[in-house]
Amino acid sequence: MKKVQVPAGRPLGRIVCPHCGNDREFVEVARNVIVTTTYIQNDDGSFTPEHGDSDVHGNVGLFCGRCDADLTTFYNHLMEMIF
């Protein structure tokens, strides 16, 4: 595994992929999810989503958006930093 240093001037607490150095693109993957969407049918026969909900019943992981490395250990940090 190649270690990557965070360049000076970057904010502390940034997630950086230790494999490729990516610090911008990440993918959240949830397993065993129930997605419920309520639709309204329009006069022309098309549908418009009115409300959506999801229930996660499995594990949730975080992966590098460039090299697909498993970064799940940083998942809690991701959740704390969503504003």
Residues contacting residue 75 through CB under 8 Å, at least 6 positions apart: 28, 60, 61, 62
| Cα-based angle 20, 21, 23 (whole degrees, multiple of 5) | 125
Say which DSSP state 74 is in.
G
Tokens (6 digits) for 79: 């959740």
Q: pLDDT tens digit string along 37-67? A: 999 999 999 999 999 999 999 999 999 999 9
Question: Model-level pTM greater than 0.85?
Answer: no
Domain ranges of the chain: 26-80
**Rounded Cα–Cα distance for residues 79 and 60 (Å):** 11
Say which DSSP state 76 is in.
H
